[in-house]
């Protein structure tokens, strides 16, 4: 018996499905990240903003009645305003300190001739950030404490009354600067490594001094890295609460600690209102960076 080896032509319906499948898969791939952001970023923010207009009763049950009472408390209470501006001050100090340390350090390591030594020094800067945040924070207690390394060293140098830094605002600034140094260092290092050396050589041949070359060529080209470092350091420093709680004591309490306090006391609406105020400031700082330099350049050019 002869066998029919001819292939049956696909039906029009099957052809249409096969043509639509890649397009549907492509649309699914495009929609997946937006769905993730909507579910885990936008939706929680909307919920927090909505909760900030509610209140709690005497039995700590949430009353779903919208009002601006929590915002009047957040803006009208002098304690909250003082802690908010104190948090801004600490975040600004941490950003400045990390910039002053990371800028020359990143430039020096990135411009070294020895690639092997450059990798070693790069590891010395980056590897400590891989350790636990709490371990690094607790280690500062042994350095800044009453019988810590700093006071012991200053006493041996002849300082009669060494300063007590633990449980002060400066302990918080020092610890946060150490914690976020890598976040300022990495974008600057990446920018300096990619720097076109021919521009510096041309400026040198034209008689430009090293300071002029750095200020007029290197720094302008590193502007996206500076903006990225600012966002990576200033924004998380503004909402810190663990480090002030461990090292700041009563003198180092910041805005984030107040939010934590109301969460622990089950007043979630007031904590949500305080969080919304902080979120507005964060978004405003990002918008200012966006006006200073395009956000696309911030995340692509370094």
The two tokens of residue 212 are 């002029």
Q: pLDDT tier at 153 (50, 70, 90 boundaries)?
A: confident
In Å, how far from its chain's centre is CA 69? 31
The pLDDT tens digits of the residues spanning 203-216 come to 888 888 888 888 88
> Higher model confidence: residue 231 or residue 18?
231
For 81-269, the fitting CATH number among 1.10.3720.10, 3.50.40.10, 1.10.3730.10, 3.30.70.940 is 1.10.3720.10
Q: pLDDT tier at 175 (50, 70, 90 boundaries)?
A: very high
Residue 289, classified by CB atoms within 10 Å of its CB into exposed (0-12), middle (13-18) or buried (19+), is buried
Taking every pair of Cα atoms in the chain, the longest distance, rounded to a whole number of angstroms, is 111
Instruction: Report, as an integer, the average pLDDT of 27-55.
Output: 92
Instruction: Report, as an integer, the average pLDDT of 72-99.
Output: 95
**Calpha distance 302→280 (Å, rounded):** 27
> At a CB cut-off of 8 Å and minimum separation 6, what does 122 contact?
109, 189
Number of neighbours of residue 42 by Cβ within 10 angstroms: 11
pLDDT in the model for residue 105: 96
Q: Kindly report the pTM of this predicted structure.
A: 0.84
Ordered by start, the domain boundaries in the chain are 34-76, 81-269
Q: pLDDT tier at 293 (50, 70, 90 boundaries)?
A: low
Beta strands in the chain (DSSP E): 55-56, 62-63
């Amino acid at each position: 018996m002869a066998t029919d080896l001819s292939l049956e032509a696909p039906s029009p319906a099957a052809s249409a499905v096969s043509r639509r499948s890649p397009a549907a898969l492509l649309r699914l791939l495009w929609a997946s990240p937006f769905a993730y952001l909507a579910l885990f970023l936008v939706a929680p923010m909307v919920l927090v903003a909505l909760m900030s207009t509610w209140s709690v009763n005497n039995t700590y049950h949430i009353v779903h009645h919208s009002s601006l009472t929590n915002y009047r408390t957040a803006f009208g209470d002098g304690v909250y305003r003082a802690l908010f501006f104190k948090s801004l001050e600490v975040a600004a100090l941490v950003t400045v300190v990390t910039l002053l340390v990371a800028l020359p350090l990143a430039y020096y390591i990135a411009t070294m001739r020895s690639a092997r030594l450059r990798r070693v020094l790069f590891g010395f800067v980056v590897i400590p950030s891989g350790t636990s945040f709490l371990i690094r924070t607790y280690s500062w207690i042994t350095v800044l404490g009453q019988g810590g390394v700093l006071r012991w060293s200053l006493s041996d140098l002849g300082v009669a009354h060494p300063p007590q830094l633990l449980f002060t605002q400066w302990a918080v600034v020092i610890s946060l600067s150490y914690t976020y140094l890598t976040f300022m260092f990495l974008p600057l290092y990446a920018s300096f490594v990619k720097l076109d050396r021919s521009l510096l050589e041309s400026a040198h041949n034209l008689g430009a001094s090293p300071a002029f070359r750095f200020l007029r060529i290197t720094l302008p080209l590193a502007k996206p890295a500076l903006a990225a470092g600012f966002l990576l350091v200033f924004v998380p420093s503004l909402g810190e609460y663990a480090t002030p709680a461990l090292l700041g004591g009563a003198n180092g309490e910041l805005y984030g600690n107040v939010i934590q306090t109301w969460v622990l006391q089950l007043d979630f609406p007031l904590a949500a209102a305080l969080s919304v105020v902080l979120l507005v400031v964060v978004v405003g700082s990002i918008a200012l960076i966006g006006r200073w330099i395009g956000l696309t350049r911030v995340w692509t050019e370094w």
